[in-house]
Amino acid sequence: MHVTLDAVIVAVTDDRPKVLTVSAPAGSVPRLPTGVLREDDRTLEAALRRFVVDETGLDVGYVEQLYTFGDSERQPGGERLLSIAYLALVREAAPSADAAWVDWYDLYPWEDHRSGRPPVIPELIAPTLDAWVGEARSAPERSRREERAHVVFGLGGVAWDGVRVLERFELLYETGLLEESTARRSEAVRSLALQGDHRRIVATALGRLRGKLTYRPVVFELLGETFTLSQLQELVEALSGARLHKPNFRRLVEGAGLVEATGTTAPTGGRPAALYRFRRDVVRERPRPGVGTPWTRG
Amino acid sequence: MHVTLDAVIVAVTDDRPKVLTVSAPAGSVPRLPTGVLREDDRTLEAALRRFVVDETGLDVGYVEQLYTFGDSERQPGGERLLSIAYLALVREAAPSADAAWVDWYDLYPWEDHRSGRPPVIPELIAPTLDAWVGEARSAPERSRREERAHVVFGLGGVAWDGVRVLERFELLYETGLLEESTARRSEAVRSLALQGDHRRIVATALGRLRGKLTYRPVVFELLGETFTLSQLQELVEALSGARLHKPNFRRLVEGAGLVEATGTTAPTGGRPAALYRFRRDVVRERPRPGVGTPWTRG
DNA sequence: ACAAAAGTGTTCGTCTTACACCCATGC
DNA sequence: GCATGGGTGTAAGACGAACACTTTTGT
């Protein structure tokens, strides 16, 4: 059995969340940075940090274990391949030459709702899911399928839940909408592929990160020491894929004690913006400190 | 490298959450049910279900991957041991002869706050942590330690956070309060040990389950088809280790649409209680359906 | 009648959302 | 002056916490 560590390294630049990939040999699709455990790695996390520096030149900050993938279909025919996936967050983005940042929303175009619901959903995804529901052999199976489609894609009156990235990916995968090859290519959702099941792994990371935002102050791992509230808001919007209500967002983060003003300002297009910093003390005061999501309708 | 699957199988009987263990050879401490991957296991989860039936005779319902443990200190000197841990929930409790249920709160006596804060905390844990804070070599290290102790054990004005089970376990472990051997035995917290780092694995499960309660309807995996609201409340109290406010709890679960009355009643010591069932439709209506925690002071 | 347990009404404060508006800078 | 983006006031509503109280059974 082969065991690897796979790293989902996330950064956000210009309001685009990105994941780091390394280019595979000629003509093939990109893949995640991957390494193997060595005897002298005391912990899994240490091993991850070690090979990420080796392979990408990046010294990552926040690191968290995501999930271990080991289904036999991952490596059809061959030896079983076990991948322990990690999520890592970095502030800046200057990896070595053979690494490249890939935009999350090129991998999952249906996930970016910042300018309203992406057209792929009503135009291609929803009709295909409807057909898939109709193809069910029995009535209970039909209603299970319908519920699943509605819940994961926010159809039929169910609210969109940004966290269900993996469930959406898996549903599209099962219904053939991500088929990269041959026959159904024309009906597939236009999106970027990664090697093997790496796109599934990144989907797991994205969902986890969206969830964690709301109850742990992880956003600040992606920001510099000081920032304006607009920068913070745009970052949260980029990650969550949703537009937020500005006046309320400001009050929420200040009111929750997540940030404090530094007293300095930064120039902008209009009135200069006050600079803030993360208030570490917030973890003493609140049980679940994070950035909530005061939605604004697209 | 050795790879195993470890199962944390949880059931609740008589308001005591329990985890299933199998007895190790003569005189040694109990361990979690453990199995290895076989070539014909298509998925990790399927492998888990297979060996759990083999080893304990239980057919588990809800299953979720927890975490993968692989630090080299787990198997000092030997080959690296990788454990992929799973959480499983079962309704009833009739395992095969060589398996036994162990009470969560015998493993972690400081976690049960249903009758107020357990005396071990003020009497033994808090003073030891204070000493540990004092032993820090530098001022910043000292304040990091203090913050950590306060946040994870709810000291110094910080609120107790039931979810931080693993963080508490690891802090006690680091400060020697769980020492089973030799010298500091008398100063150690009286609690049950498991083989190897299995108690750490169970702590991970407990924390995950407590967290998940609040945003996914997992409690119902531990209940029968119908139940009274008091049964539901006592179950949630057992898992969360906290006492809840009855009138509000009732309104919350009904108001959230989590349950619906069946129209039937069950006899009790006093007035008969209405029986309820889980409303599956709640997942269509609410983004994060779960049982909140309307605390009541000890 | 009384104990025991289930179940209801209502109030109060906080957190969330929405709408309307004012402020400071560059050109 | 006016465009641009930063920032505030305030009121309505949802939600949770707390308190006091009523109802239905068994003995």
CB-nearest partner of B150 from A3, A71, A284 = A284
Footprint of strand D on the protein (CB under 7 A): A 228-230, 246-247, 250-251, 265, 268-274; B 245, 247-248, 252, 255, 267, 270-272, 292-297
Q: What is the pLDDT of residue A219?
A: 94
Chosen domain end from A106, A121, A149 = A106
Beta strands in chain B (DSSP E): 2-13, 16-22, 34-35, 63-69, 81-89, 99-103, 226-228, 259-266, 273-278
How far apart are the C-alpha atoms of A120 and A240, rounded to whole Å?
18
Task: Dump the DSSP string for A247-268.
Answer: HHHHHHHHHTTSEEEEEEEE--
Q: How far is residue B227's CA from residue B262's CA, in Å, rounded to a whole number?
A: 9
The pLDDT-based confidence of A297 (bands split at 50, 70, 90) is very low
Q: Are B22 and B71 in the same domain?
A: yes
φ/ψ of residue A4, rounded to 5: -125, 160
Q: Closest nt to B268 (CA→C1')?
A: C5
Count of Cβ atoms closer than 10 Å to residue B143 Cβ: 12
Is the residue at B211 inside a domain?
A: no
Low-confidence ranges of chain B (pLDDT < 50): 296-298
Residue A68: list chain B partners with CB under 8 A.
44, 65, 68, 84
pLDDT of the residue at B185: 56
Picking from A278, A229, A231, the residue whose alpha carbon sits closest to that of residue A258 is A278
Q: Percent of chain A scored above 90 by pLDDT? A: 67
Q: Are residues A227 and A283 in the same domain?
A: yes
* Euclidean distance between CA atoms B36 and B93, whole angstroms: 24
The amino acid present at A249, given as its one-letter code, is: F
Q: Round to whole Å and give the CA distance between B256 and B219.
A: 15
* Predicted confidence (pLDDT) per residue in A100-122, tens digit: 899 999 999 999 999 889 999 99
Distances (CA, A) of B58 to B13, B31, B202, B203: 16, 16, 18, 22
CB-nearest to A82 from B3, B71, B161 is B3
CATH code, A225: 1.10.10.10
Measured in degrees and rounded to the nearest 5, phi and psi for residue B42 equal: -70, -40
Question: Distance between CA B20 and CA B33 in Å, rounded?
Answer: 8
The domain total for chain A is: 3
Radius of gyration of chain B (CA): 21
Contact A286, A257 (CB under 8 A): yes
Length of chain A: 298
H/E element, B214: none
Point out the residue among B70, B157, B161 whose CB comes nearest to the CB of A287: B161
Selection from A47, A69, A6 nearest residue B72 by Cα = A47
Q: Are residues B81 and B30 in the same domain?
A: yes
Residues B178, B187: contact at Cβ < 8 Å?
no
Query: Would A197 be classed as within a structural domain?
Result: no
Q: Which domain range does residue A96 map to?
A: 2-106
Helix, strand, or coil (residue B222): helix
Count each helix (H run) and each strand (E run) in chain A, helices first: 10, 9
Q: What is the DSSP letter of A244?
A: B
The pairing of strands A81-89 and A2-13 is parallel
Q: Could you give the 3-state DSSP secondary structure of residue B87?
A: strand
Q: Is residue A265 within 8 Å of A273, Cβ to Cβ?
A: yes
Residue A77 and residue A127 in one domain: no
Q: Which chain B residues are within 8 Å of A288, Cβ to Cβ? A: 161
Q: Are residues A271 and A228 in the same domain?
A: yes
Q: Which of A77, A106, A135 is the last residue of a domain?
A: A106
Separation of alpha carbons B294 and A216, rounded Å: 21
Residue nearest to nucleotide D8 (CA to C1'): A247
Dihedral sign computed on CA atoms, order A241, A242, A245, A251: negative
What whole-number distance in Å separates Cα of residue B257 and Cα of residue B265?
A: 19
Identify the pLDDT of residue A138. 96
Q: How far apart are CA B236 and CA B12, in angstroms?
A: 10
Does any domain span residue B198? no
In a domain, A25, yes or no: yes
Token pair in block for residue B194:
């498991």
Average per-residue pLDDT for chain A: 90
pLDDT above 70 for A292: no
Per-residue pLDDT tens for A213-248? 988 999 999 999 999 999 999 999 999 999 998 998
User: In this structure, are A26 and A90 located in the same domain?
Assistant: yes
- Number of residues assigned to chain B: 298
Of all nucleotides, the one whose C1′ comes closest to residue B273's CA is: C6
Share of chain A above pLDDT 70, in %: 93
Query: Does some domain include residue B184?
Result: no
Distance, in Å, from the CA atom of B162 to the CA atom of B292, rounded to the nearest integer, reads 12
When CB atoms are compared, the residue of A68, A158, A161 closest to B68 is A68
Question: With a 7 Å cutoff on the CB, does A247 touch strand C?
Answer: yes
Distance of CA B138 to the CA centre of its chain: 35
Same domain (yes/no): A6, A102: yes
Chain A positions touching chain B (beta carbons under 8 Å):
1, 3, 37, 39, 41-44, 65, 67-68, 70-73, 80, 82, 84, 147, 150-151, 156-159, 161, 283-285, 287-288
Q: What is the pLDDT of residues B137-195, one digit of tens each?
A: 999 999 999 999 999 999 988 888 899 999 999 999 999 999 766 555 567 888 898 99
Are residue A70 and residue A31 in the same domain, yes or no? yes
Spatial contact of A6 and A84, defined as CB atoms under 8 Å apart: yes
Same domain, A169 and A227: no
The tokens 């007293």 sit on which residue?
A263
Residue of A41, A151, A284 best to disrupt the B interface, most CBs of B under 10 A: A284
Residue B275 resides in a domain: yes
Exposed, middle or buried by CB within 10 Å (0-12, 13-18, 19+), for B242?
A: buried
Q: Do B31 and B81 sit in the same domain of this protein?
A: yes
Binary contact (A283, B68; C-beta < 8 A): no
CB B200 within 8 A of CB B169: yes
Q: How far apart are CA B295 and CA B298, in angstroms?
A: 9
Burial of B73 by CB count in 10 Å (0-12 exposed, 13-18 middle, 19+ buried)? exposed
Whether A118 and A101 map to the same domain: the answer is: no
Contact by Cβ (8 Å): A210, A197: no
Q: Distance between CA B71 and CA B196 in Å, rounded?
A: 12
Q: If you write DSSP's letter for every residue of B237-281 in order, what string do you get?
A: HHHHTS-B-HHHHHHHHHHTTSEEEEEEEE--SSSPEEEEEE-TT
What is the distance of C-alpha A42 from the center of its chain? 28
A42 vs B78, residue with greater confidence: A42
User: Which of B53, B82, B106 delimits the end of a domain?
Assistant: B106
Same domain, A7 and A88: yes
Average pLDDT estimate for A35-49: 95
Q: How far is B38 from chain A (nearest CA, A)?
A: 10
A184 part of a folded domain: no
Determine the residue among B41, B42, B44, B147 to mutate to test chain A binding: the one whose Cβ has the most chain A Cβ atoms within 10 Å.
Answer: B44
The integer distance in angstroms from the CA atom of A268 to the C1' atom of D3 is 13
Q: What is the CATH number of the domain that holds B63?
A: 3.90.79.10
Reported as a single tens digit per residue, the pLDDT across A118-169 is: 999 999 999 999 999 999 999 999 999 999 999 999 998 888 899 999 999 9
> Which among A152, A164, A162, A166 has a CA at the least distance from the CA of A202?
A166
CA distances from A169 to A28, A33, A107, B245, B251 (A): 22, 21, 10, 40, 36
Identify from A41, A48, A69, A72 which residue to disrupt to test chain B contact, counting B C-beta atoms within 10 A and taking the largest count: A72
From residue B159, give the alpha-carbon distance in Å to each of A128, A292, B149, B154: 49, 20, 12, 5
Q: Which two structure tokens, joined as six digits, stand for B225?
A: 């088809």
Please indicate, yes or no, if residue B56 is contained in any of the structural domains.
yes
- Residue A296 pLDDT > 60: no
- pLDDT of amino acid A215: 87
